[in-house]
């Protein structure tokens, strides 16, 4: 039976069902004032995998939803991981003072030894990166306590762009599925951070035409295609993609109205809404960001013939990279694993959706849930 519980610190409900969550651990250290928690959603396939969100307002309800997303993402990528997510309440003074932050992260790591790494393998998330993972791993005493560590600790650098590389391969499969040649295919990309930058680079190098890119400051559009290497320099030098020339600088919202083969939302959640989805003219949407479009809005667009590759299928490159690091692999092995796994499972989802006349997210969820259920049944759960 599905039940829900309202997190007392927020309006966010924690849902309980046949899959989990298995553990919700809350910790507090009086000496440092550290307060945090972890939600281990499901461990049927392996220890729960998920990052540590460090914000002033993070709650168990918030990370519970993210932990469930990780359950499906890891299952979809066929990794020996379940889903989990950590949270540490980060006071303003610790956000500004690295020494204070280190003290709190180390206190959090010590408190979580009871569940990490046996039930949970941590990773970076908001306000946490390589250095925070160094502190976490050394305080925990195990290099397998987290991924996203610095290279000198066996980490695979985030700057290699594993998530964007996976989005590129997912896009290639989607184009093939729709019978659209990769060379010359037109692409519009929302966001120009780590994920979207690498997706743009790989697609451009393969012959696709990146005609528009947006960031928080605006949008640059050129129907003849953008020079991605030049765009990266402009963004680094000026802080805004709309300073690129030649091209038309436009409001960032206009990105979603462009008539392109592929739209890649790669930054913010809920960027296409029930009110704006009818303006979308792309033939394919590959979701590089997490939850860029709510499922009910996706269905509205799918009914109009738009092919949508769901987020937890397309953007699994990051967690695949984490698995390779966890297993002691190399960057070269990481790229091979991301390509193979993302291509295979994108194709599997699109074929299932077409054959069974299903919405793509529903098809992906059925595959992921079946993999988790099978593992649970084999363990007698």
**What is the torsional sign of CA 135, 139, 142, 145?**
negative
Q: Is 167 helix (H, G, I), strand (E, B) or coil?
A: helix
CA distance 323 to 269: 25
CA distance 69 to 75: 10
Cβ-count burial 328-362 (b if 16+ within 10 Å, e if not) = ebeeeebbebbbebbbebbebbbebbeeeebbbbb
- For 68-119, the DSSP string reads HHHHHHHHHTT-S-EEEEEEEE--HHHHH-HHHHHHHHHHHHHHGGGTTTTT
For the chain, give percent helix, strand, coil, nearest 5. Answer: 45, 20, 35
Residues annotated as part of the active site: 85
């Amino acid at each position: 039976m599905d039940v829900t519980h309202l997190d007392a610190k927020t309006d966010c409900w924690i849902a309980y069902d046949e899959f989990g969550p298995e553990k919700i651990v809350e910790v507090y250290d009086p000496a440092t004032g550290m307060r945090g928690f972890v939600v281990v959603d499901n461990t049927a396939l392996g220890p729960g995998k998920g990052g540590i969100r460090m914000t002033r307002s993070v709650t168990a309800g918030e990370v519970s939803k993210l932990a469930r997303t990780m359950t499906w993402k890891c299952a979809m990528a066929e990794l020996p991981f379940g889903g989990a997510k950590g949270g540490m309440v980060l006071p303003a003074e610790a956000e500004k003072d690295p020494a204070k932050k280190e003290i709190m992260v180390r206190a959090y790591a010590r408190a979580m030894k009871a569940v990490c790494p046996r039930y949970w393998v941590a990773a970076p998330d908001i306000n946490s990166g390589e250095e925070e993972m160094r502190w976490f791993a050394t305080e925990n005493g195990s290099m397998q306590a987290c991924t996203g560590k610095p290279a000198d600790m066996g980490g695979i650098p985030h700057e290699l762009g594993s998530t964007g590389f996976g989005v590129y391969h997912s896009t290639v499969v989607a184009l093939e599925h729709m019978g659209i040649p990769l060379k010359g295919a037109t692409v519009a990309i929302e966001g120009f951070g780590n994920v979207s930058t690498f997706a743009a680079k790989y697609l451009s190098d393969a012959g696709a035409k990146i005609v528009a890119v947006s960031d928080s400051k605006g949008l640059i559009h050129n129907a003849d295609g953008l020079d991605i290497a030049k765009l990266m320099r402009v963004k680094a030098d000026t802080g805004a993609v709309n300073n690129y020339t030649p091209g038309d600088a436009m409001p960032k919202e206009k990105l979603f109205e462009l008539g392109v083969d592929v739209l890649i939302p790669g930054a913010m959640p809920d960027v296409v809404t029930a009110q704006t989805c009818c303006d979308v003219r792309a033939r394919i949407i590959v979701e590089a960001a997490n939850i860029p479009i709510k499922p009910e809005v996706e269905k509205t667009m799918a009914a109009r013939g738009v092919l949508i590759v769901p987020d937890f299928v397309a953007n699994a490159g990051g967690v695949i990279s984490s698995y390779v690091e966890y297993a002691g692999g190399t960057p070269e092995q990481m790229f091979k694993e991301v390509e193979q796994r993302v291509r295979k499972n994108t194709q599997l989802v699109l074929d299932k959706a077409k054959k069974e006349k299903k919405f793509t997210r529903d098809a992906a969820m059925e595959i992921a849930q079946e993999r988790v259920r099978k593992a649970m049944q084999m363990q007698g759960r």
